[in-house]
Amino acid sequence: MEQIRKEIEKLRKQISHYAKMYYVYDTSEISDFEYDAMFRKLQELEAEYPQFDDVNSPTRRVGGRVLDKFEKVTHTVQMGSLTDVFSFDELNDFLVRTNELVPSPLFSVEPKIDGLSVALTYENGEFVFGATRGDGFVGEDVSENLRTIQSIPLKLGEPLSFCVRGEVFMPRQSFYKQNEKREALGQPLLANPRNAAAGSLRQLDSSVAASRGLDIFIFNLQSGNLYLDRENPDSHFEMLDRLKELGFHVLPNRIRASSYEDIAAHIETIGSMRDELAFDIDGAVVKMDSISERTTVGEGTTTPRWAVAYKYPPEQKQTKLIDIFIQVGRTGVLTPNALLEPVRLAGTTVSKATLHNMDIIREKDIRVGDTVIVQKAGDIIPEIVASVKEKRDGSEKEYVIPKTCPACGSKVERDEDMAAVRCVNELCPAKRSRALAHFASKGAMNIDGLGQQIIDLLIANNLISDVADLYSLKAEDIEKLDRMGEKSAGNLINAIENSKSAGLERLIYALGIRQVGEVAATALAAKYKTLDNCFNATVEELCEIDDIGEITAQSFVDFFARPESRKLADELIAAGVLTESTAKPKGEKLAGLTFVITGTLPTMKRDEASDLIKSNGGKVSSSVSKKTSYVVAGEEAGSKLTKANELGIAVISEEQLLEMLN
């Protein structure tokens, strides 16, 4: 029994971790299919062993949290979620159970749109307000942004009062256009249409939402009457037809069926259309068509018993691995990437995929010339699942990691404690390019508009070679470059000028010293006060600082021992870059307390909340542990919130944090 308890706890921790990576960092470490299977396994174990029940288990959560920056709305009808099934056997089990309660029921089979669920309320034929699902009971009022969606009727032509539920999504074409614009401006690309739709709908400026090309499909009547002269039909399918008559954009590609064979066939039909659809789907929904029969079947604790969502496995395709090429990162790590024959996969054309490191290539026995199976991790990141060995003809070649850096020709070394192979040349041009991008990034010097593409353009035109060169750039030199102009050049120069006042905390992090993250950089700036003082640091005194270990200390000392670091510091000082700590004298209100900030806060950015806590004597950590005093949680807090609940750590809002500071 103890072994079962440990397995349940392990699953909870794994699910929390993967949720954090996906929702906080936009990184999919495993596919949606694998995540869903893990989630289902936890559900099964918790159902079989109720003695290990935990109110804070990931399985007990319906949805996200509520943003305070929008008005809160209590839903008149709960906006719940559906039980997932992953095979036709499980689908058949669901159909058998419902048939035992209701003889030969009709089912509606519909695509499951991958977007953000909202409820739209109409009174006397006019759109009154719309709200996100939130936690299923309370959502957020996003009416002004919903009004910008062209397919939402604002007046119905009949004085009807009701509430409908739909899924806001970003069509693929809109998604591609948004990323084309962002790429041209050197901005980070949107991860996927689902996240892009959610972010767009939560914009405070409705004009921003209007520019994103959002759309919506209505898939349910929540409450109210669709007719003036009679009652609603007992059929969900007919109510959607009626909503279409009233001007709503309702779910396409839906049918009614009663037999397992017809239902399964339409699920396969919907799945086969995924490439051709103008929007993303992540499954198919099977729900009883009769509203009265749904009442007979009933509701579960968090999901209805009269409906399930069939989840498609990740789409996989076979293609040829043409070559393996190396990308050199800012720390010199050589990352192998696959060059593929272009293949259409999950809605986009894929021609490249990451191979992570040499160990992965060996473990999967991937060779140049292989036929390989490709999928998108989390429907986002292309990856090679396996090689198809039976299709080898003998011409395939095993890949050998280069002994010299492909960017500079210098020797490479393998890290003893990692699977990484690293270029040791500090002057490597590829490392310099990535280092410049890190220097300009949001958490570092925050030079808006200076992305990797603009940096590479500046390097190619011999305008910069290191970070100090940024501060000698002139607008007239930049505006002559491709994709640049007078306005873009002026904005970039202003952003670079503004970065001079970032302070020592950000500067230390921006320098890209190995092992030195944002937390360590803040601690180091508090200790040494000026960049000049950092050159006198010793490993012994560094190890006395909280958050600094021996490896980080040695890396810090090694960096400042290099002659080029002294030269760079002198150039930055001469350029007018602030090389002193900007931290204000600390108050004592939060002394001795450690905070973790997670999710999107209502009025402050996370770095602003972090600075506020530190300025009042508190500490800010990036991970939740037993040493954490409070977790400050905003919207989409993810697994950090779950971990806090598991450990019994107090969770507070931004408002409560401010109350602690009067």
Amino acid of residue 383: E
- Are 116 and 201 in contact, with CB atoms under 8 Å apart? yes
Burial of 60 (0-12, 13-18, 19+ CB in 10 A): middle
Helix (H) / strand (E) element for 178: namely: helix 172-184
Q: Are strands 381-387 and 650-652 parallel, antiparallel or unpaired?
A: unpaired
Instruction: Give the separation between CA 504 and CA 582, rounded to whole angstroms.
Output: 7
- Are 19 and 34 in contact, with CB atoms under 8 Å apart? no
Identify the CA nearest to 646 among candidates 661, 656, 631, 662: 631
Side-chain half-sphere CA neighbours of 569 within 13 A: 18
Helix (H) / strand (E) element for 545: namely: none
Sign of CA dihedral 653, 654, 659, 660: positive
Helix (H, G, I), strand (E, B) or coil at 558: helix
Radius of gyration of the chain (CA): 28
> Tokens 């307390």 — which residue?
593
Instruction: Give the separation between CA 497 and CA 445, rounded to whole angstroms.
Output: 11
Angle, alpha carbons 223-58-108 (nearest 5°): 40
Identify the CA nearest to 366 among candidates 382, 384, 343: 384
> Tokens 């107090």 — which residue?
650
Enter the tokens of residue 23.
Answer: 């929702």
- Are 372 and 388 in contact, with CB atoms under 8 Å apart? yes
Identify the CA nearest to 109 among candidates 373, 286, 237: 286
Choosing from 6, 20, 69, 112, the catalytic residue is 112
The CB density around residue 300, as the number of other CB atoms within 10 Å, is 10
Helix (H, G, I), strand (E, B) or coil at 227: coil
For residue 186, CA distances in Å to 149, 429, 437, 447 come to 27, 20, 11, 11
Q: How far is CA 122 from the centre of its chain?
A: 33
Active site (annotated) includes residue 474: no
Instruction: Give the separation between CA 175 and CA 189, rounded to whole angstroms.
Output: 10
The CB density around residue 433, as the number of other CB atoms within 10 Å, is 22
Q: What DSSP designation does 345 have?
A: E
Instruction: Give the separation between CA 606 and CA 600, rounded to whole angstroms.
Output: 7
The sheet with strand 107-113 has its strands ordered as: 83-85, 307-311, 281-288, 107-113, 255-257
Identify the CA nearest to 453 among candidates 182, 152, 150, 158: 182
Identify the CA nearest to 601 among candidates 645, 644, 662, 657: 657
Distance in Å from the first CA to the final CA of the chain: 49
Instruction: Give the separation between CA 91 and CA 61, rounded to whole angstroms.
Output: 23
Show which residues are catalytic: 112
